[in-house]
């Protein structure tokens, strides 16, 4: 069988928090489907009768929830927009979100404010989160504490919308603590999991999370334009339908039956024809994550972070020293001219990214200690 991580032949890849190389088994599954589609047309579905069922069961296992709570979406922004646009806001309701959120988890909520459906309140950056904040430039994002959330929460707060892991600093929110706070105050916790799903455990029912949206092409190793949405039954019942099509309705292929009979499970958000080849591929990816076990993946990534830190000898590189509960798969470092450094690393066949003025180091479970040490040595040489 072909090497499942073919990119490793040519590069040391440290960008699994950006766009990951597509898992070869996933590519193969997608290619086989598209090839059969070209030969069989609609008859292809006789050979693939359980595409959505298998996909939802896989992600149900990953999130420790019922498959009925899983929906396929094309990206994080689509999932969060379906939620934000359908949420039953009342005048003067409030949404809390972090000031440095990724656009996919900012604009859907900003739109509600522009439409005068709710007020968006932004949690400020908290520099006290790291012990060495004096070494971190003021323009670099860091994160927030639950006390910051508590300070802004009022009786009008309906939703707290945050990322499980911040794409710039790598700050991981303590979702257990925040989820309990939301449960106690009857607030819906909505989570952007693009920077964590597949790399660290995420269990919405244990953490009292109302909804999770994630892209599939980062830590899950899936195809571009694929993602998942989790909604709890109670939360899903609140959401009005804002996108509608044939696939939304219980009557299915009875297309001249125009009764309004939408699904009430995760299919509520699957309004029309979907990219089934991508769904097959993403299902292969979640199967791969389940086989390796997400707890083991997390432990491997955190171990590689320690190896990297141990092998950095130059004082020109600074690390954010988060508490254990706020560590994530992304190791963001402060270095002069990060864009120039990333370009130099690319010349050395090491792929990284820069976000929020940080150089991001993001290994995965298939990354070796040797690759981590080489990356550290190249940085030391600068």
- Note the Cα 95 to chain centre separation in Å: 20
The model's pTM: 0.96
pLDDT digits (tens, 9 = 90+) for 94-140: 999 999 999 999 999 999 999 999 999 999 999 999 988 889 999 99
Whole-angstrom distance, CA of residue 220 vs CA of residue 240 = 29
Residue in the structure block whose two tokens are 């270095």: 335
Mean pLDDT of the chain: 96
Backbone angles phi, psi at 162, to 5 degrees: -140, 160
How crowded is the C-beta side of 99, counted as CA atoms within 13 Å? 15
Domains present along the chain, CATH in parentheses: 6-22+294-381 (3.90.1150.10), 47-291 (3.40.640.10)
Across the range 61-78, mean pLDDT stands at 98
Report which of 217, 192, 167 is spatially closest to residue 330, judged by C-alpha positions. Answer: 167
pLDDT digits (tens, 9 = 90+) for 158-167: 999 999 999 9
| The residue count for the chain | 382
Report which of 210, 213, 220, 270 is spatially closest to residue 245, judged by C-alpha positions. Answer: 270
Across the range 327-345, mean pLDDT stands at 97
Whole-angstrom distance, CA of residue 225 vs CA of residue 220 = 13
Report which of 171, 184, 216 is spatially closest to residue 78, judged by C-alpha positions. Answer: 216
Whole-angstrom distance, CA of residue 360 vs CA of residue 203 = 26
Residue with the bigger pLDDT between 6 and 148: it is 148
280's torsion region: left (phi>0), alpha (psi -120 to 50) or beta? alpha
pLDDT digits (tens, 9 = 90+) for 199-208: 999 999 999 9
The structure tokens listed for 72 are: 């396929």
**Environment class of 53 (CB within 10 Å of its CB; exposed 0-12, middle 13-18, buried 19+):** exposed
Which pLDDT score is estimated for 1? 38
């Amino acid at each position: 069988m072909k090497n499942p991580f073919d990119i490793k032949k040519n590069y040391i890849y440290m960008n699994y928090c950006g766009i990951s190389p597509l898992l070869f088994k996933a590519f193969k599954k997608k290619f086989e489907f598209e090839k059969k589609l070209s030969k069989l047309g609609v008859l292809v579905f006789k050979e693939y009768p359980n595409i959505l069922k298998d996909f939802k069961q896989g992600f149900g296992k990953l999130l420790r929830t019922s498959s009925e709570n899983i929906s396929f979406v094309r990206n994080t922004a689509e999932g969060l927009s379906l939620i934000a646009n359908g949420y039953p806001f009342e005048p003067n309701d409030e949404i809390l979100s972090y000031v440095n959120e990724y656009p996919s988890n900012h604009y859907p909520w900003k739109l509600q404010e522009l439409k005068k459906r709710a007020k968006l309140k932004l949690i400020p950056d908290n520099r006290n989160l790291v012990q060495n904040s004096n070494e971190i430039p003021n323009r670099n994002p860091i994160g927030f504490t639950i006390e910051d959330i508590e300070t802004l929460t009022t009786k009008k707060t309906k939703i707290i919308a945050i990322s499980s892991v911040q794409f710039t600093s790598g700050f991981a929110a303590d979702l257990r603590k925040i989820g309990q706070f939301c449960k106690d105050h009857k607030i819906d916790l909505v989570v952007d999991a693009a920077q964590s799903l597949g790399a660290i455990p995420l269990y919405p029912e244990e953490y009292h999370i109302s909804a999770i949206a994630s892209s599939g092409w980062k830590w899950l190793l899936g195809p571009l334009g694929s993602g998942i949405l989790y909604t709890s039954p109670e939360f899903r019942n609140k959401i009005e339908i804002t996108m509608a099509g044939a696939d939304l309705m219980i009557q299915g292929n009875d297309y001249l039956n125009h009764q309004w009979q939408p699904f009430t499970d995760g299919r509520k958000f699957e309004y029309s024809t979907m990219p089934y080849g991508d769904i097959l591929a993403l299902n292969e990816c979640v199967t791969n994550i389940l086989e390796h076990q997400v707890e083991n993946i997390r432990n491997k990534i955190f171990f590689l972070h320690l190896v990297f830190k141990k092998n950095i000898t130059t004082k020109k590189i600074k690390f954010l020293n988060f508490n254990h509960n706020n560590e994530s798969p992304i190791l963001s470092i402060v270095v002069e001219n990060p864009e120039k450094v990333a370009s130099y690393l690319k010349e050395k066949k090491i792929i990284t990214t820069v976000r929020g003025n940080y150089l991001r180091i993001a290994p995965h479970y298939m990354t070796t200690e040797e690759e981590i040490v080489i990356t550290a040595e190249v940085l030391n040489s600068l």
